[in-house]
Amino acid sequence: MVAWTAYLTASHLLERRVEEQLKADAGLTHAQYEILARLSAAPGRRLRMTELARGVVASKSGLTYQISRLETMGLVTRETCPSDERGVLAALTGEGMACLERTAPGHVAVVRALLIDLLEPGELETMTRVMRKMEAAMRDDAPPPSR
């Protein structure tokens, strides 16, 4: 359990720092940054809402909120999905891409400074492996009352 406590403390602190840096440097929330990043990596720079929600691990309603927010900032647009009339695609705008490119270096710097650079290569590798195991365990493992 000492591991768990350490994990909680460290992750809270890190989240705080990241949030702080992004807000100061780019006026973005970490959640918003994650959305932009996901979109930029997607084919055509657009993704279905649900897919995106799964990716950033947020509730559907939370995502709706943030996309609206990003839309009024001009970083994202909504398009109706051609293959499914009810679907919505969130698409990164040029401005959104520019914003991301402008913001990424600072963000990456913080992450490196507070996480990556602290680790021995081996440690980094185990961390990644562990995180993947966790994700695998939680993605399919009984989402309590379903499946």
Region near DNA per CB under 7 A, out of 81-89, 103-111, 122-130, 134-142: 81-89
Q: What is the x/- site pattern for DNA, positions 84-113, by CB under 7 A?
A: xxxxxx------------------------
Decide: is 20 part of the binding site for DNA (CB under 7 A).
yes
Q: What is the β-pairing status of strands 88-92 and 46-48?
A: antiparallel
**Rounded to whole angstroms, how far apart are CA atoms 11 and 55?**
19
Residue of 47, 31, 51 whose CA lies nearest to 90: 47
Minimum distance from CB of 98 to a second copy (Å)? 20
Q: Which does 1 bind (CB under 5 to 8 A by kind): DNA, a second copy, none?
A: a second copy
Minimum distance from CB of 103 to a second copy (Å)? 14
Q: What is the x/- site pattern for DNA, positions 29-68, by CB under 7 A?
A: x-xx---------------xxx-------xxxxxxxxxxx
| Residue 130 neighbours by CB under 8 Å, 6+ apart | none
Strand order from edge to edge, sheet including 46-48: 46-48, 88-92, 76-80
